Chain A
């Protein structure tokens, strides 16, 4: 029943690797324990190429490509680490930190935050760009969960998991550009949402402390994302 899938061989950081033709550079790199930073990508959800942290270079081309959305090709020579990439990645992280109010010390996700650990991993010690300090509300109208827009990085994982996995499509994005923000239903309080099934998937895929469970202290608020690959695997009926 499975269609013929071709196998391609390519180089990532000088290492010869093989991959199925429907795989992306990021998937192949992860399978081979090659680290490429990313925030919006999550295995089991559709890729959107929004955070731009997984940009990689191809030898012989000056163009940068998002690893999460670029399919492998025969003979590709991928470079995942370079001075230029490191600089861009650091600046993108700086932009994310400057955009809203990411104050780790008072965040429930302190110690369990993908943004925080990525910044540590990339050696980000200070932010050059000025902080914007916008004002955002915290929506705690839901019985069990809270959304704190101050911590949101608009990766849209919650939007995708709710739409693609849960099938509720409670979340979406309203507004453009710097004014964009995640909303539930038609910009109603989360607690009044007609579509939310309170499944909590959005909370657990959220990379930061933007979505969290009520009554959890920071040491308890670890996100459990293991359900996602398992769920998609079972649904696709693969072994």
Chain B
């Protein structure tokens, strides 16, 4: 297809959208899906048909609407003279007649969710801009809202070097957690010598409590594909893989569907948009190992080998898949590419803090009123996230800590709540940005238990290749259990700290090097909790 034909699809789709005055959008992402939102959608559809309103109202499934704790969520939009938008929460299939019946009249009060909540107003959406607006299973919907416009722009108006320059100037940093400058990575791969190059998308999101990548893939898979295709053009790759964990069946289904649609439209495959550029994408599924989110283990897994990491350097940018230069970025990183190309690097660089640009998607979970998926500009404070967007701690309990970055991150206490969230300030506090999991912990939780939980996770997810991570995490977990059972002495605590240091400094890959972080950060801010659990009089006999 030519760029003009793609634009025709966009125009036609926008016309179709304005044919009916009412639109009912049902969230069909995993959280609402698990609350039977597909039944809600079917009932709404039946109801519209029963009342003969097909020409008045369309019922569509859309991507994540964000407020996962209140699902299933339904939005009723009316165009008309006074465009309105109503968000209904906790909708059941039997509520369908009331919702359809009240279209154009008073809203259904008991289901209505106020749309002026800080949860909605405090957010800024770049990655999730189409999430909840488009049907993730229809490429036409994505195209109507600007999907693939950036690709057309990059392929027709820009050289690969110009694309990379835009990404460099945008200041985008890797959203997988470490925050490596994306533009630098791209230019490294572009400069690497190799007849064949690969682009890999890391969708092996495994942190407990994190579901950002899943939501992006479920809500707007075309945005990720578009980012990958632009990346392939920029670095000179012809083949790519999206590595998604098998635990995300809905994301995989929608991604595969999106790839087929893109191939059909000539946005993937040979001679993309009539240019000499070729790019093919395939999906690879993880088999349940957390360590496969580590890039070298992920590449080994794609190659069909045991998913265990290898020491870097050489970095994948030089020596990646089957020894070829490989660009590997996270789902969210790729999702940021199209808007940067469309709106320009200056626009993107104007958002966020000095060293961390743009927005970050977080999965807000734990002891907080509004759990769900949020996207905020870098530099938003933790207090705004927990108390305004998250609505604070339920049941009048006290806030104790917020855990960021999953098993590689740490716990941040109340006194640092006014810290702006960006890569550097979080690592200063002994935590990390990570992929974006945020777990709010209230006063009733023991920080030793929190550390123990994450350590248990690392024990079972260590690949077992290197000694410090394999045995060290197990020994640390045993010590934490001993402390939690109030059987530990001061010597045990000292040994725990020694092991933290050893595992952090000598482990082979990022999993082991960061595994002690939950322990180190809780020791840093909540040491008294550990000490209060030590045996009263420690008999220091070694």
Contact = CB atoms under 8 A, between A and B. Distances in A.
Contacts of A52: 466-468, 506-508
A64 B513 CA distance: 12
Nearest to B495: A128
A178 B467 contact: no
A119 interface: no
A50 B505 contact: no
Nearest to B498: A91
B502 A178 contact: no
Nearest to B509: A49
A178 to B, nearest CB: 4
Interface string B520-542: 00000000000000000000001
A180 B466 contact: no
A92 B291 CA distance: 21
A172 B306 CA distance: 10
Contact of A48 (B310, B459, B468): B310
B462 interface: yes
B427 interface: no
A37 interface: no
B474 A178 contact: yes
Interface residues of A, number: 32
A95 B495 CA distance: 12
Interface in A31-87: 48-53, 55, 64, 66, 69
Nearest to A47: B311
B462 A66 contact: no
Considering residues A50, A52, A55, A173, which has the most beta carbons from chain B within 10 angstroms of its beta carbon?
A: A52
A176 B463 CA distance: 5
Nearest to B507: A52
Nearest to A51: B467
Contact of A177 (B459, B495, B499, B542): B459
Nearest to A39: B467
Interface in B17-68: none
Nearest to B464: A180
A88 interface: yes
Contact of A99 (B306, B471, B499, B507): B471
A130 B502 CA distance: 16
Interface string A143-186: 00000000001101000000000000000110111111000000
A95 B468 CA distance: 7
B311 A49 contact: yes
Contact of A92 (B311, B462, B467): B467
A177 B460 contact: yes
Contacts of B464: 154, 173, 175-180
B465 interface: yes
Contacts of B13: none
A177 B508 contact: no
B170 interface: no
B125 to A, nearest CB: 38
A98 B473 CA distance: 13
B462 A98 contact: no
A214 interface: no
Interface in B423-470: 459-470
A222 interface: no
A12 B474 CA distance: 34
A128 B493 CA distance: 12
A172 B465 CA distance: 12
A132 interface: yes
A64 B495 contact: no
A91 B499 contact: yes
Contacts of B542: 128
B90 interface: no
B289 interface: yes
B478 interface: yes
A138 interface: no
A92 B502 CA distance: 8
Contacts of B506: 52, 55, 64, 88, 92
A55 B311 CA distance: 12
A7 interface: no
Contacts of B463: 176-177, 180
A50 B508 contact: yes
A52 B474 CA distance: 17
Contacts of A107: none
B153 interface: no
Contact of A176 (B462, B466, B472, B508): B462
Contacts of A140: none
B507 to A, nearest CB: 7
A215 B400 CA distance: 63
Contact of A50 (B459, B466, B478, B502): B466
Contacts of B498: 91
Nearest to B494: A128
A93 B502 CA distance: 12
A25 to B, nearest CB: 13
A96 interface: yes
A173 B467 contact: no
Contact of A66 (B311, B499, B505): B311
Contact of A88 (B310, B459, B461, B505): B505
A50 B475 contact: no
Q: Which 6 A-B residue pairs are closest in the complex by CB-CB distance?
A: A180-B464, A177-B462, A95-B471, A178-B474, A49-B311, A52-B506
Interface of B: 289, 291, 306, 310-311, 459-475, 478, 495, 498-499, 502, 505-508, 542
18 contacts: A51-B466, A52-B507, A53-B467, A88-B505, A129-B495, A130-B475, A132-B474, A132-B478, A154-B464, A172-B306, A175-B464, A176-B289, A176-B462, A177-B473, A178-B462, A178-B470, A178-B474, A180-B470
Given A50-B467, A50-B508, A129-B495, 19 more contacts: A49-B310, A52-B507, A64-B505, A91-B499, A92-B506, A95-B468, A95-B471, A96-B471, A129-B499, A173-B306, A176-B291, A176-B464, A177-B459, A177-B462, A177-B470, A177-B474, A178-B464, A178-B470, A180-B470
